Structure 1
């Protein structure tokens, strides 16, 4: 069967945005299932950007810059605007055309939501549909789009470069495994995940890292040991067994509050959580309840309303091949730690904790109780549970291909709460020719918080010599 080439549905006229960028908006169609090219089609959306230049004499032919494709983190999130992407600032002067292609189901690409899934059919039909939304199919989408966009390019320009952040880095390794012929080079930041370990293997390690970050939080703000527990007790009191209604339809429970710990893996995350506790305590001190403004902030921090795929496919995105089911490993593994006994169904509440015993926040784990606290996920419970039990996921990586890899790979490995650095080292050792910048003073989102340092080191790996 011939590989699929995307169909261009429409293309906007180029327009100029601040930052001296010339941007195009592109809409494509690709098959839902690439093995059935004549079957159901879905839409992909992308923006491309090049520097806006005004030469004295306009060239007769437009230049064909090699493409650099940004693979977003997640899973479940669309791309930033070109003018908001650090790649525009740090990479376009290297001669690339930047392509920000929203993954299927994210951004404007056949967006997945409770409403759009309802039109697919039953929960089983929705789950079957979503089985085509992991990295293996994302790579096929990318290749289909590449074949269209470079069809008139000379052979030496038909390959493109990819830049994968977090989940985008995992997708990059899938790309290197199954379609290396389409790649000129690969940049990976915070995404060297384990190649042959599923959620049950990864979570025991990442839970320990989250516990360490909790200890750092309570060491910096020791008064928050009592404050967090007091806030939690007031949530129990005010919300009863169900929880406190949130503005967008979710429910604030103690367990939902604990999801704020995802911030501990980012620059300034400890301070952010502390400031949220200050705000919540101030509401309780002054009004005896939480204000709408505070409830809205909390809901926005932990909601999956915008990106339900983050819950729908969170554990499946770690499953490297058939025979493995996620089955809410976040709960199963978490309950094995004494710090997370509050995950137990029969947990007696905040009063069960000793006076000096902290209440530990979670990291990026997506436990099953999330389905009872997020308005969007409440509508998708059955679909999530079907996907959680599914164990016939196709392979995400080809270890033999990675071992003989010939595509230049440049990676940054951090002090990372989400992608364990020890596992990342093992992964790097299994990719032939990879060059890695490793540091324990940058966090997972350094591409946004400290881009000067990240791009300087990555480009040194590409442009300088080691020997």
Structure 2
């Protein structure tokens, strides 16, 4: 069992409200929290969030006390996917309308290290010392620290609320669901209800087991891609051969390598992902046919698809989200599993020497990877290059704190409502079912006609099903 942790309320540094189109009242909030909640003396971080409520203009102006009560509604906190991403503007967020219509105050809180919450970037890391000091700092940016931040903010924002409003609801998309399950493990007393979309984390599985399962789905999505675009077997090889021979740079300064090209497979599991990849491959091959090089326009379009430079946490801490406790170093699990698989799967042969893969049977497709992070990524992304040694230390780290308390989850009393996708390329459906059984009181809407990004692509349908799980009765 994970030990109970006392959390101090966050310190509110600034609160500024604005009215934005769409009848929204958006309050920008800045908080201060410790870098290490267990040792507040070692430094602090700033957290940024946006609190969203409905704005109206009453016929008869409200008294101050009535105005305060009007805006004091139960909180719904959105937990973004990733790891490593901040939140969109409230007026562009898929959850805003439903949350406000359901009577919540929506809180979009950027995780530490993301968005406007002391974002991780290489120049700042360099001021902390060498690779070991940087790794020690980054260890404080996983879900166990994120939920301490959230609980500290809850204690701050609800300090004057009635007891009925002190608990809040959380909504986790993808990695946000992983964070939500850590929240359920550590601070269930702060939660009223939990919503998950594509976020039933593999709480019982190791990184090796996770990637072994996910590669199977990646291969299936590659097969679907090449069935739809058989002409791209030759095109992808044409682009890869050019990259191998010319070693060009992308507009942002990073090397355009074969490994980076095939990393576009991160998009394979999203709605419209096949077409997005095809459009980029088509543009690059048209460039090569007409000019003999890849134009800036094509390079910039490609470069914007993979977020490692702008959201480096995604790369440097990705495998650590699967290390639940000590004695479990990830040790580049995605690369190790993929390289072993490449011996029997020709499409992944580029995970061994690239030149050998390109000289092999050119009638066979080269498979794109999924959301796997490889050591080679730290050679071709400008923001990651100087983090290579830091990433190696984190890959070998075997003293990670526990993320999930399976005993606590087995006796959970907080209602959990989850949307799970059979064809999910990022969260294995079988492991998701295993987790749903492990978390007491979980209700699941499972479908094979949506992908991982359905919250964005089919917002109304997903939210309708989730709230039906909450509001309808099962006989």
| TM surpasses 0.5 | yes
Q: Residues 251-301 of structure 1: CA distance to partner in whole angstroms, max 9, x if unpaired?
A: 111111000111110001011111111100110111110101111111111
Counterpart pick for 1:110 among 107, 118, 143:
118
Whether the 8 Å CA contact 1:304–1:311 is kept in 2: the answer is yes
1:38 Cα deviation (Å)?
A: 3.3
1:303 shift after superposition: 4.1
- Displacement of 1:39: 3.1
Partner of 2:407: 400
2:340 alignment partner, SS class: coil
Show structure 2 runs of 5+ residues with no match.
Answer: none
**Distance of 1:368 and 1:57 partners within structure 2:** 63
- Secondary structure of 2:268's match? helix
Residues 457 and 2 (structure 1), Cα distance of their counterparts in 2 relative to 1, 3 Å cut: closer
User: How far apart are 1:302 and its partner, in Å?
Assistant: 2.2
> Is residue 411–residue 437 contact of structure 1 (8 Å, CA) maintained in 2?
yes
Structure 1 position 346, deviation (Å): 6.8
| DSSP-derived class of the 2:39 partner | coil
CA distance in structure 2 between the partners assigned to 1:411 and 1:2 by the alignment: 29
In structure 1, stretches of 5+ residues that fail to align are none
> TM-score, with normalisation over the residues of structure 2?
0.95
Aligned: 1:258 with 2:262: yes
CA RMSD of aligned residues (A): 1.1
Work out whether 1:320 is the aligned partner of 2:328: no
- Per-residue deviation, residues 360-407 of structure 1 (Å, max 9, x unmatched): 000000011100110100111111111110011011101111111110
| Alpha-carbon distance in 2 for matches of 1:30, 1:193 | 26
- Which digits, 9 at most, give the CA deviation of each residue in 1:32-83, with x for residues without a partner? 0001123311110011100111122233321211111000000001011111
Residue from 7, 11, 19 that aligns with 1:3: 7
Match of 2:314 in 1: 310
Determine which of 362, 386, 397 is the counterpart of 2:393.
386
TM-score, with length taken from structure 1: 0.97
Please state whether the residue corresponding to 2:304 is helix, strand or coil. helix
In the alignment, the residues of structure 1 paired with residue 288 and residue 212 of structure 2 have an alpha-carbon distance, to the nearest angstrom, of: 36
**Which position in structure 2 is the counterpart of 1:44?**
47
Work out which of the residue numbers 22, 25, 31 in structure 2 matches 1:22: 25
The residue number in structure 2 matching 1:361 is 368
Q: Encode CA deviations 1:310-337: one digit per residue, 9 max, x unaligned.
A: 0110000111111101111111000122
Distance in 2, matches of 1:317 and 1:208, equals 20
Q: Does the 8 Å CA contact 2:244/2:355 hold for their aligned counterparts?
A: no
- State the match for 1:283 in structure 2: 287
Partner of residue 338, structure 2 = 334
| Structure 1 CA distance for aligned equivalents of residues 319 and 76 of structure 2 | 28
SS at match of 2:271: coil
8 Å CA contact 1:67–1:96 kept in 2: the answer is: yes
Q: Say which of 423, 427, 430 aligns to 2:438.
A: 430
Distance in 2 (CA, whole Å) between partners of 1:288 and 1:204 is: 39
